[in-house]
Amino acid sequence: MTYLTMEPKKKRAIADFFENIQDPRIERTKQHKLIDIITIAICAVICGAETWIAIETYGKAKKEWLKQFLELQNGIPSHDTFARLFARINPKEFQQCFLEWIKSVAQIINGEVIAIDGKNLKRSYNKKSSKRAINMISAWAVSNRLVMGQLKVNDKSNEIAKSLRVRVSRRKTFQDTAIPELINVLDISGCIVTIDAIGCQKEIVKTIVQKEGDYVVALKSNQGNLHRNVENLFKEAISKRCQGFKASSYSTREFGYGRE
């Protein structure tokens, strides 16, 4: 009689996903292992740390626990060490490693809603050097309540202005560059991607379909022909009391930040 056995799926540590990331530091200046710094930072952020000082404070408070799986050969790094290292790490390399780790710990199911949106980073504008505010675009997995991916919008892109208004006069558009780039690094198969009117572009929805995802995209009058056709369709459906139309609807009413 032959018995077949299946080995249990091996659990992978954070270090397994970041082992190939390039260390930007000079060898003689290294006092802490790269993976120790990265692991402490990730754990601290998960626990609510929002500054480098808070990350250092977390590390010191959890030192005995962290020593169970980290070397910490020179103790907990200082907040300056965290800041310097993350300022120099290749962001694309880090994002790729981070996404692989997220995929291993998050359960993305069919029908998961992934909301793509952009925002201005507070206090990122430098008036003295005339440096414009940093704009980020992120993909938020609603059920898992985590950011699946995030990109800084290129200065040459059409960035999200105040209230996410579109400035169409820029040489390159935000929707033509940042959104497709973010979608391409995500696994959205079987998911529903939602984007506001800034993402109502043929190439964007084409990219989503190619990645085997579905989409819900807002439509506004800046898409003249499409908006007009949809308006006419609704008017016709209303005048005929939806006879001859396969109609279904879903509505919500939300309140937030003093707005309805």
Quote the domain boundaries for residue 193: 108-124+131-242
Same domain for 113 and 236, yes or no, is yes
Pairing of strands 113-120, 192-195: parallel
Q: Does one domain contain both 99 and 175?
A: no
70: number of Cβ within 10 Å: 22
Q: Token digits for 151? A: 């990109």
d(C-alpha 86, C-alpha 24), whole Å: 9
For the chain, give percent helix, strand, coil, nearest 5. Answer: 40, 15, 50
Are 141 and 109 in contact by the 8 Å Cβ rule? The answer is no
What pLDDT is recorded for position 100? 81
Contact by Cβ (8 Å): 23, 34: yes
Residues 42 and 115 reside in one and the same domain? no
Q: Which helix (H) or strand (E) holds 217?
A: strand 214-217
184 and 83 belong to one structural domain = no
pLDDT of residue 7: 47
- Between β-strands 135-141 and 214-217, what pairing exists: parallel, antiparallel or unpaired? unpaired
Assess whether 175 and 235 both reside in one domain.
yes
AA identity, residue 18: F
Average pLDDT value over all residues in the chain? 79
pLDDT for the residue 106: 67
pLDDT value of residue 65: 94
pLDDT of residue 5: 43
At 211, the amino acid letter reads: K
pLDDT in tens, 48-97: 898 999 999 999 999 999 999 899 999 999 999 999 999 999 988 888 88
- Amino acid 72: pLDDT: 93
Q: In what order do the strands lie in the sheet with 113-120?
A: 146-152, 135-141, 113-120, 192-195, 214-217
Rama region for 5: left / alpha / beta (φ>0; ψ in -120 to 50; rest): beta
- Considering the domain boundaries, does residue 153 fall inside one? yes
Same domain, 88 and 186: no
In angstroms, what CA-CA distances link 107 with 22, 142, 146, 148?
Answer: 28, 12, 11, 12
Domain shared by 116 and 223, yes or no: yes
In a domain, 255, yes or no: no
**Residue 250 in domain:** no
d(CA 38, CA 188): 26
Task: Please write the tens of the pLDDT for every residue from 132-159.
Answer: 666 778 888 887 777 777 777 665 444 3
Shared-domain flag, residues 96 and 112: no
pLDDT reported for residue 128: 64
Same domain, 112 and 238: yes
Structural domain includes residue 248: no
Task: Give me the tens of pLDDT residue by residue for the chain, a chain 260 residues long.
Answer: 444 444 444 556 788 888 888 999 988 888 999 999 999 999 999 898 989 999 999 999 999 999 998 999 999 999 999 999 999 999 888 888 887 887 777 666 667 888 888 776 666 556 666 666 667 788 888 877 777 777 776 654 443 333 333 333 343 445 557 888 888 888 888 889 999 888 888 888 999 999 999 999 988 888 889 899 989 988 988 888 888 877 677 778 888 888 88
Judge whether 231 lies within some domain: yes
pTM, two decimal places: 0.58
CA distance 37 to 17: 14
Other CB atoms within a 10 A radius of the CB of residue 104 amount to 12
